[in-house]
Structure 1
């Protein structure tokens, strides 16, 4: 069974939960789609529409991304090779826990 795309209501719950975990409350924005004339803050509905569009178009490609594997790598091992260690600014600090 193929996965179905989430509805707007499901995305709203996801987005609000993620923002709440970061301490962001969208209820502080003015209601509707019109920006607040005094502060220039966008309307809550326009922000949610923009965030829904972002989630629908960005998360799937990001989730499917794999780092490129060296040249002529067998496709069966390419996924494992793409999970290489991240480069570090100060590698000596992380030498012990990378072993």
Structure 2
């Protein structure tokens, strides 16, 4: 199976803009590129692209099916599943 090519910055920007719009966030009110502003569109897109690319790298690792799954109440889960009976 062929590996799909990595998305370009422009493709990711469209995705990011769409996701923000679906969340009701309008980033068009921010300045496009203003180093003096607390936040601008260029930094929003740069940060979001970085997060998306890091998630893609993390998701590339196969999960270990034998690993213990983290739980909120591990002792109670172990009692319920009988893991403490060993």
Q: Compare relative contact order (CA 8 Å, sep 6+) and give the higher one, 1 or 2.
A: 2
Would you identify which runs of 4 or more consecutive aligned residues in structure 1 move more than 4 Å? 62-68
* DSSP 3-state at the match of 1:34: coil
More helix by share: 2
Distance 1:46 1:14, change over 3 A: same
Q: Determine if contact 1:33/1:46 at 8 Å carries over to the other structure.
A: no
5+ residue gaps, structure 2, are: 73-86
Tell me the matched-pair count. 71
Distance 1:70 1:6, change over 3 A: closer
TM-score normalized by the length of structure 1: 0.56
The residue that corresponds to 1:43 in the other structure is: 40
- In the TM superposition, 1:19-98 aligns within 5 A as 19-36=20-37, 41-62=38-59, 66=63, 69=66
Q: Determine if contact 1:31/1:43 at 8 Å carries over to the other structure.
A: yes
CA RMSD of aligned residues (A): 2.8
